[in-house]
Amino acid sequence: MYEFVSGPLALISFAIFFVGIIIRIVWYVKGLDWQLDRVAYSEKLGAGIKGAARSLFHWLLPLNRTTANHPVFMAVTYLFHICLVLTPIFLMAHVVLIEESWNISWVTLPDKVADYMTLAVIAAGIFFLIRRLTDPNVKILTTASDYIVLAIALAPFITGYIAYHQWELGAGYKFWLIIHILCGEIMLIAIPFTKLSHFVLSFCSRIQLGMDYGIKRGGTKGRGIAW
């Protein structure tokens, strides 16, 4: 079972992930009305690129109006996303597996740091769950799919933490390792088809908004766009 989930099933999961994300990006770009603004975009492409870069910078920088108004929520959100993305990419065990399979490697996180980042993801996930259950403004907008998506995002970290620390919890290390790999593959497959795709599409929307603002408004004048 381990050989299957860590071999063929892993390749299938990565293939679905990459192909699915590419298709979502293509759909997003094709959905824009390029014909309507083709003259503006062709004549002021430089301003558009500057506007896109400025938009991304202000969006990623955790010092903005939204952060000031909701400091705790935004701090947890930034921590969650940073750890969610960086931990699996730079986890030593993952990099070693990739190196063994494809002879590719890169810098890794110390195990202790990755451990803390994993706990940060789990703690932030619990925070989001409690917020959805208790905040009336959020609760009314929450659907069953939101809970499922949150569970899909947290499952690889919870099972990975259990496997790394070899907590048996009624089953052996090999069991939890297999469950961890399966959870990670489910997450990869789910990303293109669920709200998890926002980790890519959010960049697309910010780039598009920034280009639009840079071209049509000059990018440096006025405050018509909320960074």
Q: How far apart are CA 33 and CA 223, in angstroms?
A: 24
Rounded-to-10 torsion of CA 165, 169, 171, 175: -40
Give yes or no for residue 224 having a pLDDT over 50: no
Question: Residue 91: helix, strand or coil by DSSP?
Answer: strand
Does a structural domain hold residue 127? yes
Does a structural domain hold residue 123? yes
Domain with 79 in it:
2-217
What is the predicted pLDDT for the residue at 35? Answer: 53
Q: How far apart are CA 41 and CA 210, in angstroms?
A: 12
Does a structural domain hold residue 31? yes
How high does pLDDT run on average in the chain?
82
Q: Is 146 exposed, middle or buried (0-12, 13-18, 19+ CB in 10 A)?
A: middle
Does a structural domain hold residue 57? yes
Q: Would you state the structure tokens that stand for residue 100, as one six-digit string?
A: 């063994």
Mean pLDDT of 179-205: 90
Q: What is the CATH number of the domain that holds 114?
A: 1.20.950
Q: Would you place residue 62 in the very low, low, confident or very high pLDDT band (cuts 50, 70, 90)?
A: low
- The pTM of this model reads 0.81
What is the predicted pLDDT for the residue at 154? Answer: 96
Does a structural domain hold residue 222? no
Q: Would you place residue 39 in the very low, low, confident or very high pLDDT band (cuts 50, 70, 90)?
A: very low
CA 75 to chain centre: 16
What is the predicted pLDDT for the residue at 126? Answer: 97
Angle (CA) 20 21 22, round 5°: 90
What is the total count of domains within the chain? 1
Does a structural domain hold residue 226? no
Mean pLDDT of 92-120: 90
Does a structural domain hold residue 227? no
Give yes or no for residue 148 having a pLDDT over 70: yes
